[in-house]
Amino acid sequence: MSSPTHANSYYAASANDKALRPQLTGEHRCDVCVVGAGFTGISTALSLAEKGKRVIVVEGSRIGFGASGRNGGQIVNSFNRDIDYIFKNYGDDIGQKMAKMAFAGSELIRHRIEKYNIDCDLKHGNVFAACNKKQFEELKAKKALWESHGHNELELLTASSIQDHIGTDRYAGGLLDRKGGHIQPLNLVLGQARAFEELGGQIFEDSEVVRLEKGVPGKVVTKQGTVIADKIVVAGNAYVFGLLPEVEKKAMPCGTQVIATEPLPEDLQKQLLPTDRCVEDCNYLLDYYRLSGDGRLIYGGGTTYGARDPGKIESIIVPKMLKTYPMLKDVKIDFAWTGNFLLTMMRMPQVGKIGENLYYAQGYSGHGVTNSHLMGEILSDAIDGDTERFDVFASMPQYQFPGGRMLRVPYTAIGAAYYNMRDQLGI
């Protein structure tokens, strides 16, 4: 039997740790069993291990196999729905509490990188790029909103000054967030996994969970082994199938596509991104891009609803890249890959508890790098008895997509097409 492998991505090729952890066999006992070794699972496990808990992580494939090891690598603050939306739709109490957490994920990532000396090409600052005047006005409002909640490391960029950061004239302005940034995401999760193991934690790969047995204690069952645990955390996000159908029906897997160029000459890197910030535009179906640690342009965009893998990733992404940077028309593409993230109806993370001892978190809707790290700490605190932040998320309603499993994809695609048309028209 062949061992599981990561997607053929730049991240997998440049991973610092390629060692395969053992497969789960026999029976094991622990305080907490975490299902899924992505950002949410490893963040939860590491935080619990720091509290002295005995933790086992069970992963069906490899550490960071899903979105955690395939994403754009951008540290973007807040949630998919920003603080003003939360106040409007969930009330002042939840709004105030969520606002206090909106910038915590990026702080936790930097803390972990420094504490555990994680080599993941951390670079500081991200730019939100406005494609039209309407989006630029919205960025002005975002700056005022975030500053009203204590985030003061922001700079509004005009159509002229944004070119100090991005070597293109296609944007009407932007917003620089110095608390944002970018990383090699697979190395970030691998570094935290190593730290977790150094604290005594165990990770089993190639160990797909086939059944959860609820109860106190609960059981996590694979084909070859079993973990008996006082508490269970399900953290597989878009890559958990059939374990919690009552939870899975509340979210929809979606695919996004990414390419990485060959390493670029230093003068060309400076031409593309003079200050080495990462960029995401403000469109509903957005483009995002940045320079890697070895000078490649990593460019992503597009959304495939229902997680269907596109037949030719380059044909989707290269035209987007050339619209921004026509000078790259002769540059070689070394890697192209796709991965799934999980979208929720309200675009807010879904967090909850089933029975006495089974916890779950999912559906970061495109903001998974920061939100998943924060969620790991929140889940850890809840398991340890401090449920204050967990209760905020768990109190928010979790809706199913209209149309059920058959129609949720076309309905969502129609909605996305509508908002994409508005972006193109600047309305």
Task: Indicate if 25 and 166 belong to the same structural domain.
Answer: no
Q: Are strands 123-130 and 173-182 parallel, antiparallel or unpaired?
A: antiparallel
Query: Confidence band (pLDDT; 50, 70, 90) for 423?
Result: very low
pLDDT, mean of residues 258-281: 98
Cα-atom radius of gyration of the chain, to the nearest Å?
Answer: 21
- Higher confidence at residue 104 or residue 240? 104
- Higher confidence at residue 390 or residue 243? 390
Has residue 291 been placed in a domain?
yes
Which own/partner pairs from 141-146 qualify as long-range (CB within 8 Å, at least 24 positions apart)? Answer: 141/84, 142/82, 142/175, 143/175, 145/82, 145/83, 145/84, 146/77, 146/78, 146/83, 146/102, 146/103
Task: Indicate if 177 and 261 belong to the same structural domain.
Answer: yes
What's residue 311's pLDDT?
Answer: 63
Has residue 80 been placed in a domain?
no
Q: Are strands 251-261 and 225-234 parallel, antiparallel or unpaired?
A: unpaired
Has residue 75 been placed in a domain?
no
Q: How many domains does the chain have?
A: 2
Task: Indicate if 265 and 337 belong to the same structural domain.
Answer: yes
**In this structure, what CATH number is given to the domain that contains residue 156?**
3.30.9.10
What's residue 296's pLDDT?
Answer: 98
Residue 309 has pLDDT above 90, yes or no: no
What does the DSSP 8-state code read for residue 23? P
Residue 413 has pLDDT above 90, yes or no: no
Has residue 111 been placed in a domain?
no
Cβ(180)–Cβ(156) below 8 Å? no
Task: Indicate if 416 and 322 belong to the same structural domain.
Answer: yes
The pair of three-digit structure tokens given for residue 114, joined into one six-digit string: 């420094």
What's residue 399's pLDDT?
Answer: 84
- How many CA atoms are closer than 13 Å to the CA of 63, on its beta-carbon side? 28
* Domain of 165, in residue numbers: 123-181+251-344+408-426
Has residue 97 been placed in a domain?
no
What's residue 181's pLDDT?
Answer: 98
Has residue 323 been placed in a domain?
yes
Task: Indicate if 171 and 258 belong to the same structural domain.
Answer: yes
Has residue 4 been placed in a domain?
no
CA distances, 385 to each of 105, 355, 380, 382, 389 (Å): 21, 16, 9, 5, 11
**In this structure, what CATH number is given to the domain that contains residue 382?**
3.50.50.60
Query: Confidence band (pLDDT; 50, 70, 90) for 417?
Result: very low
pLDDT tens, position by position, 170-218: 999 999 999 999 999 999 999 999 999 999 999 999 999 999 999 999 9
Q: How far apart are CA 190 and CA 57, in angstroms?
A: 13
From 3-7, 105-109, 164-168, 375-379, the region with the lowest mean pLDDT:
3-7
Task: Indicate if 159 and 246 belong to the same structural domain.
Answer: no
Has residue 307 been placed in a domain?
yes
Task: Indicate if 287 and 419 belong to the same structural domain.
Answer: yes
Phi, psi of 254 (to 5 degrees): -135, 150
Q: Show Cβ contacts of residue 234 under 8 Å, excluding neighbours closer than 6 positions.
A: 35, 36, 212, 240, 243, 244, 247, 358, 359, 360
Task: Indicate if 135 and 64 belong to the same structural domain.
Answer: no
Q: How far apart are CA 222 and CA 216, in angstroms?
A: 19
Task: Indicate if 145 and 269 belong to the same structural domain.
Answer: yes
Query: Confidence band (pLDDT; 50, 70, 90) for 402?
Result: low
- Higher confidence at residue 254 or residue 357? 357
Give the bridge partners for 32, in sequence order.
55, 231
- Higher confidence at residue 413 or residue 235? 235
Task: Indicate if 266 and 246 belong to the same structural domain.
Answer: no
Task: Indicate if 256 and 213 belong to the same structural domain.
Answer: no
pLDDT tens, position by position, 55-79: 999 999 999 999 999 999 999 999 9
CA–CA–CA angle 347, 351, 355 (5° rounding): 145
Task: Indicate if 226 and 289 belong to the same structural domain.
Answer: no
